[in-house]
Amino acid sequence: NLHYMGYHYYKNGHLMREANYNNGAYYGLFKEYYPNEKIYRYSCFDFGQKGVYSMEFDSLGRILLDEGVVFSPEFKTNYPLDSIKLDSIFDLRITVAEPPSTKTIIVIEETLEDGIIIEPQEYPIQDYTVFYKKKFESAGKHTLVIKGKKVDTSNGQLKKENVSIVDLNIIE
């Protein structure tokens, strides 16, 4: 896995674009700037290079466009969701948007087949990704409820939230 940041500059030396790459493809952060160094566009791309979130600004910094989801509904896993092996490590990766002037919060709650809910846990965001790793100790159906919130850092106001429900089948 080759992971790096790329930078492009205007002839005057000001930053034109910064982009995060994973194996040569856009992943996570993609920002473009006006020649006056104010942000022009913020985008976030998931593992399939699909746009998760996009913001555009005028040259004075006013928001012209603000659309997308807090996290991508397309997850990267090491096992198919319907056949996760018991006692092995299941790895779920979630692409998370972190737009300017916001704080993104991701919480995952697990429900076991018998209805027992495991206490929800907030997960850290690392390189535009939440890593959920788990060794399941019981076979059967498990459900993950993934909740994402994007909060404005200037006033604490909730700007956006989304939820995904992921059904897992743990097999022996």
Q: Mind listing the pLDDT tens digit for each residue in 77-110?
A: 999 999 999 999 999 999 999 999 999 999 999 9
Identify the pLDDT of residue 23. 87
For residues 90 and 135, what is the distance between their CA atoms, to the nearest angstrom?
6
Q: Quickly state the pLDDT bin for 2 (edges 50, 70, 90).
A: confident
* Mean pLDDT rounded to a whole number for the chain: 94
The secondary structure of residue 2, as a DSSP letter, is: -
Q: Quickly state the pLDDT bin for 147 (edges 50, 70, 90).
A: very high
Identify the pLDDT of residue 65. 96
AA letter at 102 = T
For 35-69, write each residue's pLDDT tens digit.
999 999 999 999 999 999 999 999 999 999 999 99
For residues 99 and 96, what is the distance between their CA atoms, to the nearest angstrom?
10
Assess contact for 112 and 118: CB atoms under 8 A.
Answer: yes
For residues 25 and 28, what is the distance between their CA atoms, to the nearest angstrom?
10
For residues 164 and 70, what is the distance between their CA atoms, to the nearest angstrom?
11
For 74-83, write each residue's pLDDT tens digit.
999 999 999 9
What is the side-by-side order of every strand in the sheet holding 89-95?
A: 76-77, 89-95, 129-135
Identify the pLDDT of residue 1. 65
